[in-house]
Structure 1
């Protein structure tokens, strides 16, 4: 298969960037390199070892001592540093300008971000397959995990030194075994037990002490009406474990055998549904808000008249509403035995999705067996009826992300005290029943630095505290801006934080610099304008001269030329869209408003159109 670069890889500027896209590295088999499908000649275990260690470091510094240990173990020769230099020089010459190997301090850094590495492709596909399996998307999970396993071309690191092999191969082979077990689990869930039997017989013969594989084989044989063979497989496993290790079968193997004896397991027990965005690797900031939301959703009401538990997260675009909702939902999932479902209520352009399309998607996720296209053609009333009937007796958490208003939400609300609801929106929809609201403002400096360190690396942040303070100030506490800044720094480990902070220092280039891959602050703010009435969308650029504020509707009217009442209506709509903050009343009792610095910058750089009169 053609390997795909790991997520987050981005085009590298400078000479050789185009050539590197044709370079492929293999670690999951014999270590090798190929350019445009043609093998790059690499000779000797030592050269392969140096290349493998540099690739496994993923762009981080590899100290000379680490290379020495991988090459010679605990007995390096007196000339080890000179030999390492020679091996690195040969690699540079052989690979050419497709990658950069640079000397930094006590070691080397290999920058192969734009090349394709089979290990990184495997990890990405395995992660996506694992998520699909957790969400009961078995067909997709089987395909993704099968693609992940196809990245392997033998045993990992076949042609490196024994010293590197001893440390790295067990970890990689364990990841491979886990992916294989998950793919088998997906196939069993799809009823492919008969076709799995030959593969599982072969695997159990190769790995006779792997209890999980043996348990899967017993299940596949049982479902194929081959109980006698299943009993034999269990007995053989029990004997081998006793003779080789002096232990009895573990829980998974024992339970597979007992299910067979009881005649259970014709259909695998259904997991609780988990249809959620991926959880952030390390959730940073918002700890208090997350704890409050978890408390609200886990507090099950009791007694007559008990109502639906509902919580609402509000905040401006880019404030981290979706990330917080995903973190809380994952953390609460065990309290909802029927699972968690998630629906995104906006499309890729930022427009509100029709409720009927969202309902059809939720019904399919909840197990509606009818053809999804046919379900989507049902009338709104029938869709709502089916949705509520399907979840009436459930204990389910429903997450509705980025709601635009009452009309969109009305038919999507679950009913009953056993279900719970978590909604994110830029304003508070009136349709939510007694929702507890958590409003997200900008992060304080401490949380902002922590979020930046999570993405760019703690060492990087500690090394340039003054530049980091400047960068945090330019991002104005907005989580999306900080994540983009961190991603850009992580993608360019050779550049200083100060250099990137200097780009952000200029207001004319700040928004353009806050863009990386699929993350784009200007596009996110621009999508928020789509939901505004055309008149209010046209007003925003004209408000830029008022500055950050606070300011009143009277001042806004003077700047835009609108009557004060018209200006007030536009300002309130901008508050509801999360593009303005409402301030406490001033001394004269007037409503006051304030811009977030980055929204003000967006307003100032948005072309003006004639205002409706």
Structure 2
């Protein structure tokens, strides 16, 4: 999922990873297009925002370069189209903080108009929590001069509405300091002055309330040469007379429940989803009744997220209180911490930023309390391990949790597992045909066998064939044997990079074991053969294989628990690493041991 943030420093994250956009010019182009997305922005408008009328001779070329860089960085979820002398940005699946702010703000203003003060507080707090400072930080000065005022005005209007709703709920003690700060930032805003005076008076600080009025009167006279409005004068008089009409109402409980539509955060499932005829009905049967926790696990590139989203959309009607999606970035170097994950989930359920508990335990309790009241579907994508996800499981009989992970998650209590491996021959051929339109059964089977029918590899090859009509299946197969990972990389789809991230998470001992096993053993092999090759005991070899299997870099084969195999593409990657990382004498010694076998060596028990 891609997320755009404009209400503060301009930031973009994709699948939990922050993108390095570059300098102010490229950020300005992005912000300009986002603020007018789904509408064509002319070249002249973009140029004005970048150079304020002082156009360089290469302005058009520079804009094209910025747009091209944005296309490559943002990926296929964002469409940047050249149209009618300008550019059009479409991102229907993207999350934009400005959109979220406007939605919460509109809901809050409507609730305030309808005297639903608690609902107004909930929505307006959620709106204010999206701001991280001044809007559009990082853009050119001219863009901020043009766009900041209207955004800041909307923020202030939402703030005033929030303070009005809080006071209507009897929360004067809660907001009196917030209003003092707002007066300091906006000394000419009479509405803010009036709200601050009322809060101070209700807190028993009559003198300070009157002093606030006097300061406002002096400020208006000095700056603008005018007096306060009649409404503010009337409020001052009512405070002087201690008018009973100013008495605070009975406090109204403000809950953290969302007042608008339930969250619907599922990214779209692939429109050309193929196969998994066995797994889909199994997962449907587990999730649909509610109260289930299940995981789709397997090697990188096996289509875990695609399957999870396919089934999540199929059962979403059974979870009317919302569907939450969170990428936990478990396969990256910076997985999401449980406390951060809780904060995201709680915000999705309507908890304002200011009401988030500060500690992990408090956030967990609040999340479980809110989830217990709802029939939710929670998709936790790319789980790192059991310790990351265990605190996030809500329990209960209504909410279902669907996870994906490259690990087996065998130690996760109360969780069913679906292990994904490569496609069947029929599934792989079906997807390749659908993507490429090529029908060459013999060559296709040979090509797919070389990939171990890894779904991501099949998708890349199908897209490559579709993009190159003159390229034949036998030619791709020949290139694949010479340069496998070069052929299995297209756009942001990169099989080698996916395998590399799993390899990088192994300890040095496990990486060495994977390299030597891939170098010296083919097909199915036994624990004894692994022990011979690695020059280790049977116990140590078994532990290493089990650790590799935990990340699906090795697999138990068949019914016998002492036989293992390694996926062809994992083997190819690890062989390349062996030649790059292991000394020639180490490789030779390992190969000599396995070739000589039991005649020269017997592993320790």
TM-score class, shorter-chain normalisation, is 0.5 to 0.7
Q: Distance in 2 between matches of 1:339 and 1:190?
A: 20
Q: Residue 419 of structure 2: SS of its match in structure 1?
A: strand
SS in 2 for 1:567: helix
Alignment of 1:573 with 2:542, yes or no, is: no
* Aligned equivalents of 2:92, 2:441: Cα separation in 1: 34
Q: Does 1:479 align with 2:438?
A: no
Superposed counterparts of 1:276-425, under 5 Å:
276-300=266-290, 308-346=291-329, 349=332, 352-370=335-353, 375=356, 378-425=358-405
The answer to whether the Cα contact below 8 Å between 1:350 and 1:530 also exists between their aligned partners in 2 is no
Structure 2 residue aligned with 1:604, among 560, 575, 581? 575
- Residue 527 of structure 1 and its aligned partner are, at CA, apart by 0.9
RMSD after superposition = 3.8
Q: 1:530 to 1:378 in 2, by over 3 A?
A: farther
**Preserved contact between residue 80 and residue 87 of structure 2 (Cα < 8 Å):** no
Q: 1:556 to 1:345 in 2, by over 3 A?
A: same
- Checking the alignment, whether the CA contact within 8 Å between 1:400 and 1:423 is kept in structure 2 is yes
CA positional deviation for 1:436: 2.6
TM-superposed deviation, 1:430? 4.3
Match of 2:98 in 1: 139
Structure 1 stretches of 4+ with a deviation exceeding 6 A read: 121-124
Specify the alignment match of 1:461 in structure 2. 438
Counterpart CA distance in 2 for 1:429 and 1:608 is 30
Q: How does 1:222-261 map to 2 (within 5 A)?
A: none
What CA distance in whole angstroms lies between the structure 1 residues aligned with 2:89 and 2:469?
Answer: 21
> Following TM superposition, by how much is the alpha carbon of 1:581 offset from its aligned partner in structure 2, in angstroms?
0.8
| Whole-angstrom CA distance in 2 between matches of 1:273 and 1:389 | 17
Give TM-score, length-normalised by structure 2.
0.54
Counterpart Cα distance in 1 of 2:434 and 2:400: 31
Q: CA deviation at 1:343?
A: 1.8
Q: Is the 8 A contact 1:539 1:570 kept in 2?
A: yes
1:556 equivalent in alignment to 2:530: yes
User: In structure 2, the residue corresponding to 1:128 is in which secondary structure?
Assistant: coil
SS of 2:300's equivalent? coil
Matched position secondary structure for 1:424: strand
Q: Is the 8 A contact 1:138 1:186 kept in 2?
A: no
Contact 2:519 2:571 (8 Å CA) reproduced: no
CA shift for structure 1 position 187: 8.5
DSSP 3-state at the match of 2:269:
coil
2:270 is paired with a residue of what secondary structure? coil
> Using the alignment, how far apart are the partners of 1:289 and 1:29 within structure 2?
42
**2:353 aligned counterpart, secondary structure:** coil
**Separation in structure 1 between the aligned mates of residue 542 and residue 109 of structure 2, nearest angstrom:** 61
Deviation at 1:189, TM superposition (A): 5.2
Q: Could you say which residue in structure 2 is the equivalent of 1:15?
A: none
User: Cα–Cα, structure 1 residues 491 and 186, in superposed 2: closer, same or farther, change >3 Å?
Assistant: farther
User: Who is 1:118 aligned against?
Assistant: 83
Cα contact 1:403–1:423 (8 A) shared by 2: yes
- Counterpart-to-counterpart distance in 1, 2:109 and 2:286: 40
For 1:388-411, what per-residue CA distance to the aligned partner results, in whole angstroms no more than 9, with x for missing partners?
Answer: 122121111111222232211221
Q: Secondary structure at the match of 1:398?
A: strand
Closer, same or farther: CA 140–452 of 1 in aligned 2, 3 Å: farther
Alignment of 1:487-502 (within 5 A): 487-502=463-478
Q: Equivalent residue of 1:296, what SS?
A: helix
> In 2, Cα distance between the equivalents of 1:115 and 1:338?
34
How many angstroms does 1:320 deviate by?
0.7
Counterparts of 2:312 and 2:442 in 1: how far apart (Å)?
37
Based on CA coordinates, which of the two structures has the bigger radius of gyration?
2
- In 1: Cα distance, 2:373 partner to 2:451 partner: 46
Q: Partner of 1:384: helix, strand, or coil?
A: helix
- Taking a change above 3 Å as real, the CA distance of residues 522 and 29 of structure 1, as seen in their structure-2 partners, is closer
The one of 249, 259, 273 aligned to 2:263: 273
Contact 1:139-1:186 at 8 Å conserved across structures: no
Aligned length: 370
Contact 1:442 1:478 in 2 (8 A): yes
Describe the SS at the equivalent of 1:401: strand
Per the alignment, residue 511 of structure 2 pairs with: 537
Whether the aligned pair in 1 keeps the contact of 2:39 and 2:88 (CA below 8 Å) is no
Counterparts of 1:347 and 1:417 in 2: how far apart (Å)?
A: 27
Contact 1:398 1:414 in 2 (8 A): no
After superposition, the Cα gap between the structure-2 partners of 1:190 and 1:412, relative to the gap in structure 1 and judged at 3 Å, is same
Question: 1:332 Cα shift?
Answer: 1.0
- With over 3 angstroms needed to count, the CA separation of the structure-2 counterparts of 1:311 and 1:540, relative to structure 1, is same
Give how far 1:280 is off.
0.8
Q: Secondary structure at the match of 2:391?
A: helix
Change in 2 beyond 3 A, CA 1:296/1:555: same
**TM-score after normalising by structure 1:** 0.54
- Unaligned runs of at least 5 residues, structure 2: 1-13, 15-37, 48-78, 113-160, 162-256, 587-605
